């Protein structure tokens, strides 16, 4: 090594060593402790879930009843506009506070947590962060104080393959005319407004996708029947048919052709919500298993004394905590990779934890008279909506290779 290079290297090492000595007293511990505000949100939503959601969750699920009164109470608490700026009536919370709220609500009732998550992360946040002043006045203010919003991206022939959207947006003077069908639109039956993604030219693929705000009482908007699904039964999902729906040009979010980027950015947020939702379901399954194991006696002792049950509960606890930590990271360090990792892990973990819960409860775990089978059904969807697990895995791999200059 040349003398100059050696000198530079030695100086760098000496300087770095001095810096480390100065910082060492500050590096004695690592903490993921929540702020006072976040702890308050957690306690508030946990108490709300225990008081208002958990006692009714089974009936809402069995009867497929939308939790109207529960959503109304959440609106009164301000949680249906959690991250919206205060001047528009929101609480102006951070994403982590919202994720904590979704987890606790989902712990009490997975359907209610799902509805709150989609309304906030997919509809409200998009309008709040990307909408014009006119759009906020028409499509946000009332959605903080009672109206529900929804997000229409998927189609019968375009789920994970967003670039294949076939809903067409045609210009007509100062208006856009929309034609097409959207699928699996959560809360669409109860909602007042929706975000619709359509293409201005199918040949352009993702470069033609454009984002629109559409009032659901507009002429030519038709909502289909509620889809029967295996889990999250108190929430609704239906097709949305658009037949020559005319909307003003001012209802366009961003410029024509920017919709794909808008959708992807919003799905990054949505996956935080789904990860939190999955974590709440998993925590509820763990709670159910522990409560049952403490009371059930087998071979002359409580199940909590049996090594095989202890092993299952231990694994469940580790999986829940892993999901929670990844969700917290995704909510505080927003990126496609982080949100994909959180959703991928939390969805898989939720199903595994729910499966352990069923196994611990044995025959009662299969009975619809107990909560275990509901947790199992509710957990399954977390690997599908918001981007299937297979796609999340591909996203993680892509950004991993990109970070290491290996693409």
Tell me the per-residue pLDDT of 58-88, one tens digit each, with 9 for 90 and over: 999 999 999 999 999 999 999 999 999 999 9
Question: Are 285 and 396 found together in one domain?
Answer: yes
- Among 117, 128, 125, smallest CA distance to 88 is for 128
Domain assignment of residue 29, yes or no: no
Question: Are 356 and 294 found together in one domain?
Answer: yes
Measured CA to CA, the distance from residue 98 to residue 86 in angstroms comes to 15
Show the 3-state SS of 33-77: CCCHHHHHHHHHHHHHHHHHHHHHHHHHHHHCCCCHHHHHHHHHC
Quick: pLDDT tens for 296-318: 999 999 999 999 999 999 999 99
Q: Is 238 helix (H, G, I), strand (E, B) or coil?
A: strand
Mean pLDDT of 200-226: 96
Domain assignment of residue 31, yes or no: no
Map tokens 């993702």 to a residue. Answer: 206
Quick: pLDDT tens for 178-196: 999 999 999 999 999 999 9
Domain assignment of residue 1, yes or no: no
Domain assignment of residue 312, yes or no: yes
How many independent structural domains does the chain possess?
3
Question: Are 133 and 181 found together in one domain?
Answer: no
Share the mean pLDDT of the chain.
94
Give the pLDDT band (50/70/90) at residue 32: confident
Looking at the chain, the whole-number percentage of residues with pLDDT higher than 90 is 89
Domain assignment of residue 10, yes or no: no
Q: What is each CA distance from 31 to 24, 27, 174, 275, 381, in whole angstroms? A: 16, 11, 54, 21, 32
Tally the C-alpha atoms within 13 A of residue 156's C-alpha that lie toward its C-beta: 6
Question: Are 124 and 159 found together in one domain?
Answer: no
Per-residue model confidence (pLDDT) at position 221: 98
pTM: 0.93
Question: Are 294 and 394 found together in one domain?
Answer: yes
Measured CA to CA, the distance from residue 342 to residue 355 in angstroms comes to 20
Domain assignment of residue 392, yes or no: yes
Question: Are 214 and 84 found together in one domain?
Answer: no
Boundary-marking domain end, from 236, 257, 278: 257
Question: Are 190 and 289 found together in one domain?
Answer: no
Boundary-marking domain end, from 114, 144, 174: 144
Domain assignment of residue 7, yes or no: no
Question: Are 202 and 269 found together in one domain?
Answer: no
Q: Quote the tokens at residue 43.
A: 């306690």
- Decide if pLDDT at 211 tops 70: yes
Domain that holds residue 123: 36-144
CATH number at residue 163: 2.40.110.10
Per-residue model confidence (pLDDT) at position 14: 75
Measured CA to CA, the distance from residue 319 to residue 354 in angstroms comes to 11
- Decide if pLDDT at 8 tops 90: no
Give the pLDDT band (50/70/90) at residue 18: confident
Give the pLDDT band (50/70/90) at residue 24: low
| DSSP for residue 182 | E
């Amino acid at each position: 090594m040349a003398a100059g290079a050696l000198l530079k290297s030695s100086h760098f090492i000496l300087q770095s060593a001095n810096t480390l000595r100065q910082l060492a007293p500050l590096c004695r511990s690592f903490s993921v402790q929540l702020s006072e505000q976040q702890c308050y949100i957690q306690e508030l939503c946990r108490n709300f879930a225990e008081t208002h959601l958990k006692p009714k969750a089974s009936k809402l699920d069995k009867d497929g009843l939308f939790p109207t009164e529960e959503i109304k109470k959440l609106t009164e608490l301000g949680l249906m506009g959690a991250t919206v700026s205060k001047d528009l009536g929101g609480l102006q919370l951070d994403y982590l506070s919202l994720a904590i709220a979704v987890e606790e609500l989902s712990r009490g009732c997975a359907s209610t947590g799902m509805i709150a998550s989609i309304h906030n992360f997919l509809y409200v946040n998009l309008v709040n962060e990307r909408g014009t002043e006119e759009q906020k006045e028409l499509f946000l203010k009332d959605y903080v104080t009672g109206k529900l919003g929804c997000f229409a991206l998927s189609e019968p022939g375009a789920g994970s393959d967003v670039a294949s959207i076939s809903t067409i947006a045609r210009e007509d003077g100062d208006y856009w005319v929309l034609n097409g069908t959207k699928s699996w639109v959560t809360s669409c039956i109860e909602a007042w407004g929706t975000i619709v993604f359509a293409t201005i030219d199918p040949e352009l693929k993702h470069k033609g996708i454009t984002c629109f705000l559409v009032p659901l009482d507009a002429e030519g908007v038709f909502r289909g029947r509620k889809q029967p699904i295996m889990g999250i039964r108190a929430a609704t999902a239906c097709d949305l048919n658009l037949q020559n729906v005319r909307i003003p040009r001012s209802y366009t979010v961003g410029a024509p052709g920017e919709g794909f980027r808008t959708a992807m950015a919003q799905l990054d947020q949505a996956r935080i919500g789904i990860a939190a939702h999955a974590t709440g379901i998993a925590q509820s399954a763990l709670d159910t298993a522990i409560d049952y194991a403490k009371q059930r006696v087998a071979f002359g002792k409580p199940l909590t004394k049996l090594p095989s049950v202890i092993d299952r509960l231990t694994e469940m606890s580790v999986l829940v905590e892993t999901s929670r930590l990844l969700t917290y990271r995704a909510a505080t360090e927003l990126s496609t990779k982080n949100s994909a990792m959180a959703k991928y892990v939390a969805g898989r973990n939720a199903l595994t934890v729910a499966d352990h819960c069923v196994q611990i409860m044995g025959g009662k775990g299969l009975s619809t008279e107990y909560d275990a089978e509901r947790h199992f059904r509710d957990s399954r969807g977390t690997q599908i909506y918001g981007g299937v697990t297979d796609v999340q895995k591909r996203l993680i791999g892509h950004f991993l290779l990109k970070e290491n200059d290996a693409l």
